[in-house]
Amino acid sequence: MSFFRNIINWPIDVFRVWKREISLVFHDEAVIIFFLVLCAVYPVLYSLIYNTEVAHDIKVVVVDDNRSHLTREFVRQLDATPEVCVMDYVSNIQDARRLMNEHECYGVVYFPSDFTRQALGGGQGHVSLYTDMGVFMRYKQMLTGLTSVQMNMCTQLQHAKIGITSENSGGIIENRQVALGNTAQGIGSSVLPCVLVLVLQQSMLLGICVLRGGSRERRLRNRGFDPLEINTWVSASLVGKSLCHWVIYIVPTIYVLHFVPMFFDFPQNGATLDIIVLMLPFLLSVSLLGQTLQVFVNDRETTFLVMGFTSIIFVFLTGISWPRFMMPDYWIALGNVIPSTWASNAYISIQTNAATLGQVSQSYYMLWVLVGFYFVAAYMVERFICRPRYRRMQQYAAIEPDALIKEEHRRNAVDQSGW
């Protein structure tokens, strides 16, 4: 009879935990900032930073030690590209370096004295590009413009030597770049989809850890008891909290992953329904990951030490800046247990390359595997670490009422001479 009573009471307890967690979230200003304000502001802030997408007319100066018709034609074509603006000639590298240090220009194109002789004599004519690496976007554009002019002049020189063998006025092999997903070829459109998913993950983890820090502070003030805690099964507590986080994040997820790309003209080639379905296991796995990491949280401020430094690491683990297949095995293994790794790659495939949910099924199923994995991990942490810790706190407080506060002050090096 008690077994059936437990089965009936379990969903009731899940609802009680869900209701209590909702109340805690919306009565805690710090959690509201992490769950809602951060999701509203950070994606817009990052998108505004990369809103230019592609830089145009990057200022460069030319140091020409060759002074030939060929170098002047090279510079004329370079100045005609949309990426580069040739602002002036200078006499030597030292003057060019001074202009770069004063931020009058961002790049130097250098032609050595033997450039024409090497280029027309069957050798290699070297052109050097010195750039200000303070902004990667400028370097990329300068290199793109210089490379396109170089390839065009190589074709012209080839035609001058061997003659045009066909009616085609272009090269023997036509080189054409067609952007399928990221049509703007911008850094924002390639980087921001990954960052948007990571913002959702980090904001939820921060909020969950702050909630746990608040619970511990209440226990310190109430002799090891949290008056707002629902005394129920571990599984009911985990499910209730996860459902609470998932419900709260429905609106932020739609806003971050659908409306922010629409506001800033990022690629939107996928089906919205596929993205929503993909986010379901992602949000659940992040919630359970946060409930697993709670064991490391001693107070609300500890949250920033536990989670603050991981954002950059998680960005690299997704493979957005360095391909995952070139990472060592231990980094790949670490990335595999982070929900944002699978969610961001699947989201980019859907949103940028118009993939369907079936085409990213590996990432989708791996997110469900992480849901199961972190549910077991969170269950073990709560049952065998956190709850025994709470019972010990209650035992210490029963022996000496001020024991918990004194221990907390001792741990934080607070002067207790007045006790």
- Using N-to-C axis directions, what is the helix angle for 187-221 and 136-162, rounded to 10°? 160
Determine the pLDDT at residue 185.
Answer: 66
In order of their start, the domains of the chain are 10-51+185-411 (no CATH), 58-162 (3.40.1710.10)
Q: In the predicted model, is pLDDT for residue 158 greater than 60?
A: yes
> Whole-prediction pTM value?
0.80
Reported confidence tier of residue 399, pLDDT bands at 50, 70, 90: confident
What are the pLDDT digits (tens) for 3-50?
A: 566 677 899 999 999 999 999 999 999 999 999 999 999 999 888 877
Where do the DSSP E strands lie in 65-206?
84-90, 107-111, 128-131
Instruction: Kindly indicate the confidence band of residue 181, based on its pLDDT and cuts at 50, 70 and 90.
Output: low
Share of the chain above pLDDT 90, in %: 53
C-alpha to C-alpha distance for 197 and 347, rounded to whole angstroms: 8
Is 413 a residue whose pLDDT tops 60?
Answer: no
In this model, does residue 415 exceed pLDDT 60?
no
Q: What is the pLDDT of residues 218-267, one digit of tens each?
A: 988 888 889 999 889 999 999 999 999 999 999 999 999 999 999 988 88
- Reduced to 3 states (helix: H, G, I; strand: E, B; else coil), residue 106 is coil
Tell me if 61 sits within 8 A of 99, measured CB to CB: yes
Query: 172: pLDDT confidence band, cut at 50, 70 and 90?
Result: low
Give 274's pLDDT tier (boundaries 50, 70, 90).
Answer: very high
Q: Please provide residue 125's backbone torsions phi and psi, each rounded to the nearest 5 degrees.
A: -90, 120
pLDDT over 60 at 167, yes or no: no
- What is the tens place of the pLDDT at every residue in 296-345? 888 887 777 767 778 888 989 998 888 898 999 999 999 999 999 999 99
Tens-digit pLDDT profile for residues 337-392: 999 999 999 999 999 888 999 999 999 999 999 999 999 999 999 999 999 988 88
Dihedral of alpha carbons 197, 200, 202, 204, sign: negative
Q: Are strands 128-131 and 58-64 parallel, antiparallel or unpaired?
A: unpaired
Residue 411 pLDDT more than 80?
Answer: no
Average model confidence (pLDDT) for the chain?
Answer: 86
Strand, helix or coil for residue 233: coil
Predicted local distance difference test score (pLDDT) of residue 410 = 59
Give pLDDT, residue 362. 96
d(CA 400, CA 10): 36
- Please tell me the predicted confidence (pLDDT) of residue 4: 65
Query: Who wins on pLDDT, 235 or 400?
Result: 235
Can you tell me the mean pLDDT for 200-214?
93
**According to the model, what pLDDT value does residue 224 have?**
85
Among the listed residues 55, 66, 73, the one whose alpha carbon sits nearest the alpha carbon of residue 149:
73
Higher pLDDT, 8 or 88: 88
Query: In this model, does residue 108 exceed pLDDT 90?
Result: yes
Q: Which residue type occupies 98?
A: R
Q: How confident is the model at residue 175 (pLDDT cuts 50, 70, 90)?
A: low
